[in-house]
Amino acid sequence: MPAHVSSSPAKPSTKAPLSLIALQIVRESLAPDTSLPKLSHLAESDPGFALRIMAMVNSAAFGPQRHVSDVRQAVSLVGIRGLRSIGMSLALSDMIPVGEAGRILLANSLRRAVASRLLAQRLGSKDVDEYFTTGLFLEVGLLARAREDLSGAAEVARLPAVHRVMHERAAGFADHPAAGASLASSFMLPAHVEAAVLQHHSDVPPDALPSRVAWAAERLAGMWEGGDPLLNRKLALDAVLSLGLSQGDLEEATKELPDMVVAAATAFDRDIGPQQSVESLLVDVNRCLLDMTHNYDIAVRRLEALLVQKDQLSSQLIEANAQLSRLATTDALTGLANKRAFEDALLRDLSRADRDQTWLTVVLSDIDYFKKVNDTYGHLTGDEVLRQVGRVFGSKLRGSDLSARYGGEEFILILPGSNAVGGKIVAERLRRTIEALKIAGPSGELAVTASFGVAGVCGPGCAGKMRDLILRADEALYAAKRGGRNRVVAAEPESTPVPG
């Protein structure tokens, strides 16, 4: 039930905590074997609760003055469902803190409760007390937020009713209809109450009558809660008409509502101050428009801040995705493409060579005696050798070429548009540049060399030859090593004649 929402309010309250008897009565009223005598006995067992239930029964908010002075008579008059509604109402009212913010929250809740009751009366319903309770719970999502964030909940409550959900979403909070419906479910409230809470800010009137009445009550209550008074009245009139009621019903309800809201607050032993008549609200248009402008300014500033934040997050996300893409395709040590990126590029370029009937050559290279470098000078020096050789491979290429670290001390090039002769020229230039490198080592400058294997292929028919092409380059590389290292060897041409 409502008391389960939070174990402690966001702000200390001077009001006595809700009697446990109220919760017991709500639970007992849901039991299949409950009875009025049992509920009456429970109500009588707590004097504080007994006084509050009689105050509510005698209140104008619960109908004509009944002048009940005995708890048993009160229980008999309202019945099991009515007593459950009163218990739930008292539980909810105790969720609301005292103080100015609490008065605003309570007044908003009571307006919806009274508006629901007035509309149900005009529809001829016999369960007006249940409609009162349903209306009272429409703002339960906002009341629950007030337990943790009173100022934030009060800020929303001060906005015109039609703007509250937009404001909550713009601020990054769950909107109070959805949060309230979840709470109603956890409180084990009837399904029609949960549905009414969820749908009371819907753009169109709900189908089920309890939800439709609550939806109309939201718009009727909104007439007292800021914004454009003329627009608020039109929204309320359209909502009332959607129930099959008349403009006269709206006018009568708006006249009765302020006094009934005050009476309901008195029944809850709370003071919400005097409530304006609807006529005074319509006359005081300038003040309402100023309030509306202020509220719009708040919403606009918040939306502008959120848009800036969204743009920043979008830029950060784009950069993060780009960084992830670079990490996924780049060798961290040398900055060259990694094996995965090389294979993707080779598949693409082979398909293009196949389509355009052009040459494509790969150059596979291996640093000579690299294991000896690591064993003699250490892995830090070995890494520096890889970085320096990687710079050579990355700086001696055309824009269409691709260099990659193929694994360990192996590097590989893709040379689109070049045959094996051109590939051998490129490889020889790289070999000489690497041979001339002077790399700082722990015992002075260190010189290294590299061996190269070159293999070319030409379309058409080369798109499926990636594996064969790399194998031929690898065989040429091993031939270079067997021949004494620090040299370039080109693979034998393919057995199948290709265009020159």
Distances (CA, A) of 221 to 85, 235, 251: 20, 11, 13
Q: What is the DSSP string of 403-467?
A: EEEEETTEEEEEEET--HHHHHHHHHHHHHHHHT--EEETTEEE---EEEEEEEEESSS-TT-HH
**Measured distance CA(438)–CA(445) in Å, rounded:** 6
- What lies within 8 Å, CB to CB, of 60 at 6+ separation is 259, 260, 263, 264
Which among 130, 304, 409, 475 is annotated as catalytic?
409
Q: Which residues share a beta bridge with 414?
A: 362, 402
Structure tokens at 235: 């929204």
Q: Cβ of 402: how many Cβ atoms within 10 Å?
A: 24
Measured between alpha carbons, how far apart are the two ends of the chain, in Å?
A: 87
DSSP state of 300: H
Let me know if 409 is a catalytic residue.
yes
Contact criterion met (CB below 8 Å) for 25 and 87: yes
Q: Which amino acid is present at 57?
A: V
Structure tokens at 420: 């094996």
Structure tokens at 153: 């909940």
**Measured distance CA(171)–CA(166) in Å, rounded:** 9
Enzyme catalytic residues: 409
